[in-house]
């Protein structure tokens, strides 16, 4: 291997293999698609409703899901993100002469999981094909893929649109799911990382052969937010199934979008434009809305012939799509059956056992929460991340009040996680302790305020709520006799105010309440205390 | 010798004893595991010193009557006193000397190993220490240059891999090394196996040792010529449409194309993946059986390799003097009607008919069988093989290995690197294959050819139900003149008529020398093709062994 590398590296010709490349930092926290949309919404989105009065957009999405298998699809190399360039390579994924692919069985399991989760018909017999084209990041000159018989097809996915966009439930068709391998990466030296103007390119084959599932949707989406929510739901399903990290920011989930526009009432599709290079759902939303407006504007000016079949790139900086390459007719990939791999045969028992072991899917979680009576806003937040919904579920199992538990998780805990850039699996407070905390508040042992005070301690260090409360002496004072003596003491210490009260300055009731609260560092049960203060002041 | 004690110890551990294996698996004492010409080629029964072919190089008699009992000699200590000094080191030295002596005339090697003597010395050492040196210990074996050999040049006969040294061994090569074999060098071939004369090699033209003005056949022409000229004991080849059998026939050696999937293709530079098979060439059926036993079997690195158990192919072989009166009694052979009529040189057909008469004398019943789809095989083969080749050769793009032509942009770099790196025949097949797979043509060419392939498989299946083994000539002619067909690719393709269908059906076939014919003053060997059921190499080798031991001397 070293020899082969040495020959290719160190040349000053047009392509050399890559030695060093800065590591791309892994984003620490996944942020729900819709919540980030609300704040970052581009101005173009507000023009969408009027643009869509006379026109209809037709949107389909092709998603590449990078699978989280330990090794690559057709060789034993580590399938690892962020390794030294060209360190996870072997004769097979480098496309050396004589090397042959051998299918990683985990890839098949993952494909079956996703196929089932997307309600697809599985092909018990499918096969691999070669998709042929020349590019410097494609070592064999073909990509092993599945052409006419994908492993899964005819499925669907259900999404709930964000409340801030008017909400609504949608079901989108899935055309097919198929297995394929990823290509390597080209890094264009000089030229600002872009191909044009770059004197040479570097090839990193670490990613070559990493397993992918390509999901092709039906052209069922009509707006940017629908497509963005579709992508977000696919990411949720991928994470829920544990088959990949499903991160658009990392590039482990990549969406290419096809957008066309047609006058309302027209049956035929308009000319479709492909958009690439969106690294978040929010970017997808904005890119599609931009593209819809661009195409509608051309239609309105009678220039629809200027909408050409092409691939456009979303530019995050300028918030617009620009032409990447015009399609010169249909590319001929000269697909033919991959002779190095056997037919892919699934046994019904294998499919059944995978099906039985499927976790609750995000849509099922949402429907369950909805049935519990949670608001759609709460449903969407709690069911967005499997670890959060599992945490919530465990907290409920421990007997916590549903609404209180939901509020604590969505409020204080989420806020803490965001500030500290942690995920819910990092916190030390267990669901049972949160349930304990909630019930202590509910039964009046502590106030909500004290609950908020001790939460950081519980998150950081764990322990039970009772332990922390007792250690800090924070138990709520709920004994009426004890409260009465506390009130007496405050009245005794403030004779002037008491005199003023008796002369009719009844607003001073609040002053006494505050003094009692302060004297106990907030530990006194506020309802009981207010009752006792009122009694002592002769108001009740 | 002082190490005789160790050798005896080895013998008890290594050589399976007749007593323990039972009568059915009895290894006859006169049939050693490996047979190699003793005083090769001089002093042996070769055609040249029989005076029939004075213009030719010395060639090995196909039946190796004076076979060397090499393996036994240094393992069991039973060797004759004359062989006492023949350690692996000496054997490899002798072969290397002969290799170099013949090479200027035959030109069968693209690379001669510089480490063969060291490897032989290392086996000498293992023997001296009493370690198991493996069943092929010290045997000098040549490897077709489209099989990857770690650190040793592996060009596939192409300029596009000029200077390429793979970082790994092909599985078949690895298994030979593990069996103690010494790789003596890499043999010439038609570029990436595409050709039937070895003239498509980018490096040199190999001559047929029987007549240096003739081709050795191809694409494993270098391996066949090297075996025939005694430059190696035996050799690995590959067979996509006849590339082992046809050169074996042209050079008068034994060639075996195993069942598809019997030997791992890992490390074989792919030409047509669904047809390619790694196989063996040797001077006798014994040698080929020993070689197949070493290289066959499932390989986790090749998804198309079979996990069927590999027998010890030597165990099926019965020596002449143990044979019953009618050793093939009860067996039915089918001679393929379409291979002995039009398009076949009458002299070739006659030699094959004589061989059939011999089979009948051995007790077999031989009937004519017709394979109606036989003539469809050749065009279908060239569609499928070219289609797969067009894809398999895409990796030779000048980016990761091999010479690169610098250009201003990527497509120009591909065009120039591939344009200069590939020869005419390879380009022709890439173009044909690309065309056949193109949108709008796929159904008419590739898909139709696959349908033909299915019909051919069905025909063979039916024919093999009626007879145990099918018989045909290997090629319609004996070795032709160098340059004779270079400008006529179609006539070159027609020469593959008898062999391609076997690859289309994935069946095993053995090419056995069965006679000589005279052509323009040269005596040239003719091969008999025996075709068997999938994974029944054992039966082919058993029958082939009986045939080669009993066929009358020419």
Residue A14 has pLDDT above 50, yes or no: no
What pLDDT score does A196 carry?
Answer: 66
**Inter-chain CB proximity B391 and A95 less than 8 Å:** no
From the list A1, A130, A340, the residue facing B167 with the nearest CB is A1
Residue A139 has pLDDT above 90, yes or no: yes
Name the catalytic one among B238, B243, B249, B511: B243
- Residue B147 touches partner A, C-beta closer than 8 Å: yes
**Inter-chain CB proximity B446 and A336 less than 8 Å:** yes
Spatial separation of the C-alpha atoms in residues A286 and A33, rounded to whole Å: 12
**Inter-chain CB proximity B161 and A97 less than 8 Å:** yes
Tell me the chain B residues in contact with residue A342 when contact means C-beta distances shorter than 8 Å: 303-304
| Among B155, B157, B167, the residue to mutate for chain A (most A Cβ within 10 A) | B167
Q: Cβ(B477)–Cβ(B491) under 8 Å?
A: no
Domains and CATH numbers, chain B: 66-329+480-550 (3.90.1300.10)
**A:B CB pairs within 8 Å:** 134
The tens digit of pLDDT for each residue in A436-461 reads: 999 988 887 788 888 888 898 899 88
What mean pLDDT is reported for chain A?
A: 88
- Residue A538 touches partner B, C-beta closer than 8 Å: no
What pLDDT score does B408 carry?
Answer: 86
Residue A51 has pLDDT above 90, yes or no: no
**Inter-chain CB proximity A96 and B147 less than 8 Å:** no
Spatial separation of the C-alpha atoms in residues A539 and B449, rounded to whole Å: 102
- CB-side exposure of B113: number of CA atoms within 13 Å? 27
- CB-side exposure of A361: number of CA atoms within 13 Å? 21
Spatial separation of the C-alpha atoms in residues B340 and B8, rounded to whole Å: 52
**Inter-chain CB proximity A103 and B274 less than 8 Å:** no
Tell me the chain B residues in contact with residue A332 when contact means C-beta distances shorter than 8 Å: 438-439
**Cα A250 from chain centre:** 11
Spatial separation of the C-alpha atoms in residues B548 and B35, rounded to whole Å: 14
- Residue A130 touches partner B, C-beta closer than 8 Å: yes
What pLDDT score does B9 carry?
Answer: 26
Tell me the chain B residues in contact with residue A141 when contact means C-beta distances shorter than 8 Å: 391, 393-395, 397
Residue A478 has pLDDT above 90, yes or no: no
**Inter-chain CB proximity B413 and A2 less than 8 Å:** no
Identify the closest residue of chain B to A102 by CA–CA distance.
B303
**Inter-chain CB proximity A334 and B165 less than 8 Å:** no
What pLDDT score does A483 carry?
Answer: 92
Spatial separation of the C-alpha atoms in residues A313 and A323, rounded to whole Å: 6
Spatial separation of the C-alpha atoms in residues A338 and B382, rounded to whole Å: 18
Kindly state the average pLDDT of the residues A314-318.
91
3-state SS, one letter per residue, for B484-507: CCCCCHHHHHHCCCCCHHHHHHCC
What pLDDT score does B491 carry?
Answer: 86
What pLDDT score does A44 carry?
Answer: 60
DSSP secondary structure, B155-207, as one string: -TT-GGGTT---SS--HHHHHHHHTT-EEEEEE--SGGG--SSSTT-SS-PPP
**Inter-chain CB proximity A341 and B395 less than 8 Å:** no
Kindly state the average pLDDT of the residues A169-182.
98
The tens digit of pLDDT for each residue in A260-298 reads: 999 999 999 999 999 999 999 999 999 999 999 999 999
Spatial separation of the C-alpha atoms in residues B469 and B365, rounded to whole Å: 11
Distance from CA of A328 to the nearest CA of B (A): 15
* B219 included as an active-site residue: yes
Identify the closest residue of chain B to A195 by CA–CA distance.
B409
Query: Which residues between 369 and 388 in chain B have a beta carbon less than 8 angstroms from any beta carbon of chain A?
Result: 387-388
- Residue B9 touches partner A, C-beta closer than 8 Å: no
**Inter-chain CB proximity A102 and B166 less than 8 Å:** no
**Inter-chain CB proximity B399 and A15 less than 8 Å:** yes
Beta bridge partners of B236: B143, B280
Name the catalytic one among B219, B223, B264, B522: B219
How many residues comprise chain B?
A: 554
Residue A148 is given by DSSP the state S
Name the catalytic one among B144, B186, B485, B523: B144
Q: Measuring CA to CA, which residue among B198, B114, B212, B196 is closest to residue B156?
A: B198
What pLDDT score does B368 carry?
Answer: 94
What pLDDT score does B554 carry?
Answer: 54
Residue B434 — φ and ψ, nearest 5°? -60, -40
Look at A173-177, A390-394, B312-316 and tell me which has the smallest mean pLDDT.
B312-316
Considering Cα of A261, then A267, then A269, then A270, what sign does the dihedral take?
negative
Spatial separation of the C-alpha atoms in residues A224 and A259, rounded to whole Å: 10
What pLDDT score does A21 carry?
Answer: 33
Tell me the chain A residues in contact with residue B164 when contact means C-beta distances shorter than 8 Å: 97
Per-residue pLDDT of chain B (554 residues; tens, 9 = 90+): 333 332 222 222 222 223 333 323 322 223 333 333 322 222 233 333 332 333 444 555 443 332 333 333 333 332 333 444 568 888 899 899 999 999 999 999 999 999 999 999 999 998 889 888 888 888 899 999 999 999 999 999 999 999 999 999 999 999 999 999 999 999 999 999 999 999 999 999 999 999 999 999 999 999 999 999 999 999 999 999 999 999 999 999 999 999 999 999 999 999 999 999 999 999 889 899 999 999 999 999 999 999 999 999 999 999 888 999 899 999 999 999 999 988 899 999 999 999 999 999 999 999 999 999 999 999 999 999 999 999 999 999 999 999 999 998 899 999 999 999 999 999 999 999 999 999 999 999 999 999 999 999 999 999 999 778 999 999 999 999 999 998 888 888 889 999 999 999 999 999 999 999 999 999 999 999 999 999 999 999 999 999 998 987 65
Tell me the chain A residues in contact with residue B267 when contact means C-beta distances shorter than 8 Å: 98-99
The complex's ipTM works out to 0.87
């Amino acid at each position: 291997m070293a020899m082969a590398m040495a020959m290719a590296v160190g040349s000053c010709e047009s392509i050399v293999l890559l030695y060093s490349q800065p590591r791309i930092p892994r984003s620490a926290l996944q942020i729900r698609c819709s919540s980030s949309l609300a704040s970052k919404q581009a101005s173009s989105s507000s023009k969408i409703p009027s643009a869509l009065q006379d026109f209809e957009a037709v949107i389909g999405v092709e998603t590449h899901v990078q699978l989280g298998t330990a090794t690559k699809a057709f060789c034993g190399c580590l399938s690892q993100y962020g390794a030294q360039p060209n360190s996870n390579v072997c004769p097979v994924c480098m496309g050396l002469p004589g090397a042959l692919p051998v299918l990683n069985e985990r890839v098949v399991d993952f494909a079956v999981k996703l196929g089932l989760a997307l309600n697809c018909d599985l092909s018990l017999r499918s096969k691999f094909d070669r998709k042929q084209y020349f590019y410097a990041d494609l070592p064999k000159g073909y990509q092993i893929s599945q052409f006419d018989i994908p492993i899964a097809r005819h499925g669907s996915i259900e999404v709930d649109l964000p409340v801030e966009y008017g909400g609504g439930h949608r079901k989108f068709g899935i055309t097919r799911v198929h297995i394929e391998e990823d290509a390597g990466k080209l890094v264009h030296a000089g030229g600002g990382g872009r191909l044009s103007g770059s004197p040479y390119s570097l090839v990193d084959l670490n990613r070559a052969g990493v397993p992918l599932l390509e999901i092709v949707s039906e052209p069922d989406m009509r707006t940017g937010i629908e497509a963005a929510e579709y992508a977000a739901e696919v990411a949720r399903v991928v994470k829920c199934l544990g088959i990949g990290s499903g991160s658009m920011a990392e590039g482990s989930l990549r969406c290419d979008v096809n957008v066309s526009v047609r006058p309302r009432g027209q049956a035929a599709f308009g000319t479709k434009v492909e958009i690439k290079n969106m690294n978040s759902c929010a970017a997808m939303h904005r890119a599609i809305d931009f593209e819809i407006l661009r195409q509608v504007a051309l239609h309105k000016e009678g220039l629809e012939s200027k909408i050409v079949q092409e691939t456009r790139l979303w530019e995050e900086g300028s918030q617009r799509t620009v032409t990447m390459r015009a399609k010169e007719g249909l590319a001929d990939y000269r697909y033919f059956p991959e002779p190095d791999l056997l037919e892919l045969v699934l046994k019904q028992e294998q499919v059944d056992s995978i099906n039985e072991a499927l976790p609750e899917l995000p849509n099922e979680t949402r429907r369950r929460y909805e049935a519990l009576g949670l608001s759609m806003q709460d449903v969407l937040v709690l069911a967005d991340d499997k670890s959060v919904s599992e945490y919530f579920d465990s907290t409920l199992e421990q007997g916590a009040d549903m609404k209180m538990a939901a509020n604590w998780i969505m409020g204080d805990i989420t806020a803490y996680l965001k500030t500290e850039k942690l995920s819910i699996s990092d916190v030390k407070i267990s669901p049972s302790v949160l349930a304990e905390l909630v019930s202590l508040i509910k039964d009046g042992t502590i106030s909500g305020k004290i609950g908020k005070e001790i939460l950081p301690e519980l998150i950081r260090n764990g322990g039970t709520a009772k332990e922390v409360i007792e250690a800090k002496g924070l138990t709520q004072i709920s004994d009426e006799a004890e409260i009465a003596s506390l009130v007496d003491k405050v009245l005794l210490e403030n004779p002037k105010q008491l005199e003023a009260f008796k002369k009719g300055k009844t607003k001073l009731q609040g002053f006494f309440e505050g003094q009692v609260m302060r004297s106990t560092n907030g530990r006194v049960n506020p309802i009981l205390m207010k009752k006792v203060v009122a009694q002592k002041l002769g108001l009740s | 010798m002082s190490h005789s004690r160790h050798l005896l110890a080895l013998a008890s551990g290594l050589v399976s004893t007749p007593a323990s294996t039972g009568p059915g698996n009895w290894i006859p004492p006169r049939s050693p595991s490996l047979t190699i010409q003793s005083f090769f080629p001089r002093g042996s029964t070769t055609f040249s010193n029989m005076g029939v072919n004075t213009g030719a190089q010395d060639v090995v008699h196909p039946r190796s009557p004076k076979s060397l009992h090499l393996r036994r000699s240094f393992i069991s200590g039973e060797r004759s006193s004359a062989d006492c000094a023949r350690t692996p080191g000496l054997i490899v030295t002798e072969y290397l000397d002969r290799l170099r002596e013949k090479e200027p005339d035959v030109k069968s090697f693209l690379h001669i190993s510089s480490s063969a003597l060291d490897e032989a010395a290392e086996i000498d050492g293992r023997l001296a220490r009493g370690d198991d040196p493996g069943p092929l210990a010290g045997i000098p074996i040549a490897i077709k240059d489209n099989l990857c050999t770690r650190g040793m040049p592996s060009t596939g006969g192409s300029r596009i891999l000029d200077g390429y040294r793979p970082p790994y061994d092909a599985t078949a090569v690895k298994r030979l090394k593990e069996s103690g074999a010494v790789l003596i060098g890499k043999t010439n071939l038609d570029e990436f196996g595409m050709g039937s004369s070895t003239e498509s090699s980018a490096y040199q033209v190999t001559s047929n040792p029987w007549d240096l003005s003739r081709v050795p056949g191809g694409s494993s022409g270098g391996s066949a010529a090297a075996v025939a000229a005694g430059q190696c004991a035996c050799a690995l080849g590959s067979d996509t449409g006849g590339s082992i059998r046809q050169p074996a026939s042209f050079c008068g050696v034994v060639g075996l194309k195993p069942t598809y999937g019997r030997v791992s293709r890992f490390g074989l530079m792919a030409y047509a993946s669904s047809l390619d098979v790694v196989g063996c060439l040797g001077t006798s059926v014994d040698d080929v059986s020993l070689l197949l036993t070493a290289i066959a079997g499932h390989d986790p690195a090749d998804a198309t390799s079979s996990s069927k158990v590999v027998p010890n192919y030597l165990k099926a072989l019965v020596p002449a003097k143990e044979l019953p009166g009618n050793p093939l009694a009860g067996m039915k052979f089918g001679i393929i009607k379409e291979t002995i009529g039009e398009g076949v040189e009458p002299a070739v057909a006659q030699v094959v008919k004589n061989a059939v008469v011999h089979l009948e004398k051995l007790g077999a019943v031989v009937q004519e069988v017709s394979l109606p789809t036989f003539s469809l095989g050749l065009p279908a083969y060239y569609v499928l093989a070219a289609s797969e080749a067009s894809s398999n050769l895409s990796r030779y793009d000048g980016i990761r290995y091999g010479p690169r032509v610098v250009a201003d942009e990527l497509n120009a770099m591909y065009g120039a690197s591939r344009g200069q790196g590939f020869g005419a025949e390879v380009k022709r097949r890439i173009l044909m294959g690309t065309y056949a797979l193109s949108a709008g043509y796929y159904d008419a060419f590739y898909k139709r050819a696959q349908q033909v392939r299915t019909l051919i498989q069905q025909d063979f299946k039916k024919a093999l139900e009626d007879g145990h083994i099918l018989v045909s000539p290997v090629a319609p002619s004996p070795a032709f003149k160098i340059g004779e067909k270079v400008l006529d690719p179609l006539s070159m393709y027609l020469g593959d008529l008898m062999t391609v269908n076997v690859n289309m059906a994935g069946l095993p076939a053995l090419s056995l020398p069965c006679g000589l014919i005279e052509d323009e003053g040269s005596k040239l060997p003719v091969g008999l093709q025996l075709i068997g059921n999938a994974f029944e190499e054992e039966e082919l080798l058993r029958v082939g062994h009986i045939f080669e031991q009993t066929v009358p001397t020419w």
